[in-house]
Amino acid sequence: MELLNGFYTIFTTPETLMFVVLGSILGVIVGAVPGLTASAAIAMLVPITYYIDPLSALAFLYVIGKAGRFGGSISAILFNTPGTTAAAATVIDGHALTKKGQAGKALKTATTASVIGDYVGEFMLIFGALTIAQLTRELGPPDYFAIYVCAFLIIGSVISDSVLKGIASTLFGATLAMIGLDPITSEPRYSFGMVELYNGFSLVPLLIGMFVISEVFAQVQAARSGQAHHDEIAARKPEDDQLSWAEIKRCLPFIGRGSFIGALVGLIPGVGSAVACFVAYGSSKAKAKNKDEWGKGAIEGVAAPEAANNAVSGPSMIPLLALGVPGSTIAAMLMGVFLIHGIQVGPKIFETSGDIVYGLFAAGLIGIALYGLIGWFLGPVIGRVIDKVPQRLIYPTILAVALISAYTARSSMFDVLVACIFGLIGYFMRTLNFSPAAAIIAFVLAPGAEQALRQSVLLTDDGFGIFLHRPVALIFFAIPVIAIGIRIIGRMRARKAAPAELQT
């Protein structure tokens, strides 16, 4: 019933309600602007929140995070550039739908899936936080290492058509992550004497380079070679802008699957939306009946990853609130806001600051509905407006905004240079069919995996034997092995069946 009190607080405090509304609008915008991620926007806004009351401050940033995860799908669908890592999997089918003239349909699918996924995650947070926190509390470095390995293998096997190129891209990302402070000895590694590399590359310029700038290059090349075809975003038929009830029903199982995967991934500190969306995409594709359509514009291919990336949002707050461990960049910044307002995160927060916590939950629930409305009604409109703007204006603008975003994250020209260099690298990776997304995800996951592994070995005298005594770790090691095994058996059967078909 504290939740009802939370709603009461928000609806009776116009200021807080205003920040929730503002947060959902702003979140969708920053998410949709290529290169400006929700976490970068939150980093810029954190100082402002010191001057407003704690509930408004937290609600504002929390809702930006949620709406931003959804907003990323807009640029993914319209421009083939994910606005955030969370939308990296949405590009595949989302942009294919745009090319078919069904941008409106794709945006509505993304909205529906994001909203449902977000609610699933949020309810898990509200009703299960303390119980779940008890379970995750027992996880130590060996278990986390197993979880990372599981994530690596599952993503590596689904992200690219060519397994070898997928692995190569993953290794490239992991290598980039080696630059910076060694997690155990705290010595700078591969920093080449540059103080800017002391802590390694930061994610934002890398993201901007690999996803945004490389796409701009690809568009320039397309225009040069005369292949530029103006993506038809305006609906050809009225129903292309609509999402029918039958289509929603078709997507529901995939939304459910995506939400479940996203919520589970959210619980694990340091893994996050980018992993959730690809795991959801890959495993849903494997289960889909219309597998052939995936990648060419299947709405299910938008629904699954979009549900997953938003379902991450709620559960990722569980380790922060209940254990004081920030599970994501956004959570880490929220922790700072709690701190400055004198609220101690940790197991006692539900007793000591219950009103704020439940107010925050209520704000989350309201925020989801708000960005859902924005996405549903404005998505197709945005699509049509963008269509009126000539492409020779769109991509230069995107490039300029991307470079500004790269600079503002740390007020650093070095980061702008990094973004440009990785723009070139990303462009060549695309033309050679390597996967920039796999590289980025590996870059995000590798530091955690390395630290967990090296801590595990330090925690015991029997070296790698420590994993044998950890049932949770063994389960997570087994998951990808079984999944990949099933796939290999499936392929072998298909191969046996194929010649038979040819003969007939």
Partner 1 sequence: MTKLGWMKSLAAGAALTVAGTMVQADSFPERPIDMIVGFKAGGGTDTYARALASAAEAHTGGQPVVVVNKPGGGGLVGGRFVADQPPTGYTLYLASAGSIVLKNLIKPQVVSTDDFKMVGTIGELTAGIFVPAGSPIQSLDELLEAGKSSDTALRWGHTGRGNVWHMAGLGVLNPNDVKAKDVPFKGGSGVRAALASSEVDFGVMGAHLGLGFEDEVRLLAVLSNDTHPAAPDAPTAKSLGIDFIPVSSQMIVMAPARTPDEVVAQLSEAIVAITQDSAYLDTLNTAGLPTASVNGADTAANIDTSKVEWGKLLEGLE
Residues near partner 1, by CB under 8 A:
43-48, 50, 137-141, 181, 183-186, 195-196, 198-199, 323-326, 332-333, 335-337, 339-342, 344-349, 352, 408, 410-412, 451, 455, 458-459, 461
Question: Tell me, what DSSP letter sits at residue 188?
Answer: E
Amino acid 213 reads I
CB of 409 to partner 1, least distance (A): 8
30 and 377 in contact (C-beta within 8 Å)?
no
Query: Closer to partner 1 at the Cβ: 138 or 501?
Result: 138
Query: Closer to partner 1 at the Cβ: 137 or 491?
Result: 137
Tokens of 267: 């619980």
Query: Closer to partner 1 at the Cβ: 99 or 341?
Result: 341
CB of 195 to partner 1, least distance (A): 5
Query: Closer to partner 1 at the Cβ: 162 or 460?
Result: 460
- Cα(113)–Cα(118) distance, integer angstroms: 8
* Cβ neighbour number for residue 55 with a 10 Å cutoff: 26
CB of 430 to partner 1, least distance (A): 29
Tokens of 129: 């936080």
Query: Closer to partner 1 at the Cβ: 167 or 333?
Result: 333
343 and 351 in contact (C-beta within 8 Å)?
no
SS3 category, 316: coil
> If you write DSSP's letter for every residue of 64-111 in order, what string do you get?
HHHHHHHHHHHHHHHHSS-SSGGGTTHHHHHHHHHHTT-HHHHHHHHH
Query: Closer to partner 1 at the Cβ: 205 or 379?
Result: 205
CB of 327 to partner 1, least distance (A): 10
- Cα(434)–Cα(422) distance, integer angstroms: 14
> What are the residue ranges of helices labelled H in 325-353?
329-340, 349-352
Inter-CA distances, 242 with 107, 173, 248, 380, Å: 9, 39, 11, 9
CB of 480 to partner 1, least distance (A): 24
- Cα(133)–Cα(322) distance, integer angstroms: 6
CB of 189 to partner 1, least distance (A): 13
Query: Closer to partner 1 at the Cβ: 474 or 484?
Result: 474
Query: Closer to partner 1 at the Cβ: 204 or 307?
Result: 204
Query: Closer to partner 1 at the Cβ: 162 or 352?
Result: 352
Query: Closer to partner 1 at the Cβ: 51 or 245?
Result: 51
CB of 470 to partner 1, least distance (A): 11
Half-sphere exposure of 279 (CA within 13 A, CB side): 31
Instruction: Give the contacts of 331 (CB within 8 A, at least 6 positions apart).
Output: 316, 317, 319, 320
- Cα(161)–Cα(38) distance, integer angstroms: 30
- Helices 300-311 and 103-137 pack at an angle, to 10 degrees, of 40
Query: Closer to partner 1 at the Cβ: 389 or 458?
Result: 458
Phi-psi region of 347 (alpha: psi -120 to 50; beta: other; left: phi over 0): alpha
CB of 471 to partner 1, least distance (A): 14
Tokens of 421: 């260099």
> If you write DSSP's letter for every residue of 284-340 in order, what string do you get?
HHHH-TTGGGTTS--THHHHHHHHHHHHTTTTTHHHHHHHS---SHHHHHHHHHHHH
- Cα(443)–Cα(426) distance, integer angstroms: 14
Question: Tell me, what DSSP letter sits at residue 189?
Answer: E
CB of 410 to partner 1, least distance (A): 6
CB of 449 to partner 1, least distance (A): 13
CB of 50 to partner 1, least distance (A): 5
